Chain A
Amino acid sequence: MAYIDSTQKYQRMLSNYTRTGIEAKIPGTKQEGIARYRTMIYNVVNDSLSTAYPLAKKLLTKDEWDNMVQHYFSSHACVSPYLWKMPFEFFEFVKENESELLTKYPFLSDLLLYEWVEIEVFMMEDVEVSFSKIGSIASDALVLNPSCILQYFQYPVYSKVATEITSSNQAHYFMLTHRNPETNLVRFMEVAPMFARMIELLDERPFTIEELTNQFSTESKIEISQTIKTNIESFFKKCLTKEIILGFKN
């Protein structure tokens, strides 16, 4: 008999059982052992998600969390061979498939994303960039730390305790998450929309502050006053101190 007709069928039945908990009659199995697989696998997934999303887990009731994890694992095919990346699939699943929970907790998706971004920035691969520590903040092109992510949120999940967030907090928030190249610690910084756009530009290539200012002014059709220019320079000085800006183009 061909592999596809026999062995494969039982493998699928067992795998499906471990994901859904729906019992399958597979010949020659021992019930106690088969049930253990279901428990162990569910625990691996639940532990991984609980570790990745402690704030979301704390926000939800036990039943809400358990049902969400069960719904996810039984109906979503986890594609990543890397267990540490699996929680990102959970975030995407919740965003698309948990409308009831998202109605009760409109900021849940933002909260999950905030927690995921911390993991992603902490774990992301090192990217070597060329820059000089010596230069002028006012006139040299700035080199952005490649270990950073700029993220848009509708709720201030990074600055308020989840249980205190209400619909009145809904607005446009931009958060810059970066990994310090020396300490490897992850840090968060809320940034104004103007700075968010400038960071986006720096993510493409190094720019001087003047170039960034002109580009932003052109795009937004906003005239940049001297006071704002001073604020922009202060912002990037702060970024340089925090190693969000690593230095200057060679």
Chain B
Amino acid sequence: MVGIGFRKDFAKDFLSTTTLRPDFIEVAPENWIGIGGFWKKKLHEALEKYPLYTHGLSLSIGSPDELDFELLKGVKKFLTETGACVYSEHLSYSKCDNAHVYDLLPIPFTSDAVKHISKRIQTVQDFLERKIAIEIVSYYSPVAAEMSEIEFVNAILEEADCDLLLDVNNIYVNGFNHAYNPNTFIDALPLERVAYIHMAGHDQVSETLIIDTHGEAIIDPVYDLFEYTMNQLQRDVPVLLERDFNIPHLSELQHEMDRLKKIKVTSLTKEFHGIHR
């Protein structure tokens, strides 16, 4: 399955034509909770056609602040009402000292953060009565790290016993920004926990920095890393194409989704032939 992030920017075209033909859609609950009128109608139109995956923005799972149970209640209600298949969030924080910053800040890679966040993920899973998938975010600077990124991520996945949302573009971006081999990073992840994959474009802003903008087409090296990931995974995991800005003609998004699907099918078929040779 290959899906698309359902954006208000292209909702009307998407719903009134067959140019874009995803297997599922994804939304951020925070953008749709508590709204009615035009957009609620459009969301319902989309839900009549496509299964829903969700990707939270504001839970701030890595925050030193208390968990926002009011938000969680809203998320739980939204997941129930929409019949969402998956709820995922970011391994980052976006709220601190009771102030939302509406973006994803990097958490210090420390053992006390591992304990703190793992417990919070467990609390969220208990509250929502479902396993959640946690995304490794792109980051542009480490912050007071006491361990490596992979040690940090794996310790949380293990201790929280949650699923992994593997954003392949993020691994590429982080590999570039922090000078590590993204293939090696993927090899070191507990791939059995991968429940969901994200793919997106990015923007290189300097010789040493890539920003994860979701505003460009996916580049070939990220497709290559996706192929590598699928070869390692050998499982049919749902894949999402994220495009949040600089939206092109929908046929271009469909072309990207077709390419992702082709890579997936080829990777899985390769193994099939291997088994039977």
Interface residues in chain A, defined as those with a beta carbon under 8 Å from any beta carbon in chain B: 1-4, 6-8, 10-12, 14-16, 18-19, 26-34, 36-37, 40-41, 44-45, 48, 76-84, 86, 122-127, 147, 179, 184
Measured between beta carbons, the chain B residues less than 8 angstroms from A28 are 142-145
A-B contact pairs, 9 of them (CB 8 A): A11-B93, A14-B106, A30-B141, A34-B141, A80-B100, A86-B100, A125-B35, A125-B40, A126-B40
Q: How far is the CA of A196 from the CA of B2 in the complex (A)?
A: 52
Measured between beta carbons, the chain A residues less than 8 angstroms from B209 are 32-33, 36
Query: Contact: B100 with A78, CB < 8 Å?
Result: yes
With A81-B57, A123-B35, A147-B36 given, name 16 new contacts (CB 8 A): A3-B112, A6-B144, A7-B64, A11-B107, A14-B105, A15-B101, A18-B103, A19-B99, A34-B141, A37-B141, A44-B102, A48-B102, A79-B98, A83-B102, A123-B37, A126-B36
Main secondary structure on chain B at its contact with chain A? loop
- Does any Cβ of A come within 8 Å of B188's Cβ? no
Please give the distance in Å from A71's CB to the nearest CB on chain B.
14
* Interface-facing stretch out of B26-34, B126-134, B233-241: B26-34
Which chain B residues in 49-73 approach chain A with CB under 8 Å? Answer: 57-59, 62-64, 68, 71
Query: Contact: B37 with A184, CB < 8 Å?
Result: yes
Please give the distance in Å from B113's CB to the nearest CB on chain A.
5
Please give the distance in Å from B125's CB to the nearest CB on chain A.
19
Q: How far is the CA of A31 from the CA of B37 in the complex (A)?
A: 44
Q: How far is the CA of A211 from the CA of B139 in the complex (A)?
A: 63
Q: How far is the CA of A7 from the CA of B212 in the complex (A)?
A: 25
CB-nearest residue of chain B relative to A77? B99
Q: How far is the CA of A16 from the CA of B57 in the complex (A)?
A: 19
Measured between beta carbons, the chain B residues less than 8 angstroms from A12 are 64, 96-97
Measured between beta carbons, the chain B residues less than 8 angstroms from A18 are 101, 103, 105
Please give the distance in Å from B124's CB to the nearest CB on chain A.
14
Query: Contact: A4 with B64, CB < 8 Å?
Result: yes
Residue from B35, B58, B64 within 8 A of A3 (CB atoms): B64
Q: How far is the CA of A184 from the CA of B39 in the complex (A)?
A: 9
Residue from B38, B57, B99, B101 within 8 A of A184 (CB atoms): B38
Q: How far is the CA of A100 from the CA of B143 in the complex (A)?
A: 39
Query: Contact: B140 with A30, CB < 8 Å?
Result: yes
Residue from B97, B101, B140 within 8 A of A36 (CB atoms): B140
Nearest first, the 7 closest Cβ-Cβ pairs linking A and B are A33-B141, A33-B140, A15-B96, A77-B99, A126-B36, A81-B58, A184-B38
- Does any Cβ of A come within 8 Å of B115's Cβ? yes
- Does any Cβ of A come within 8 Å of B206's Cβ? yes
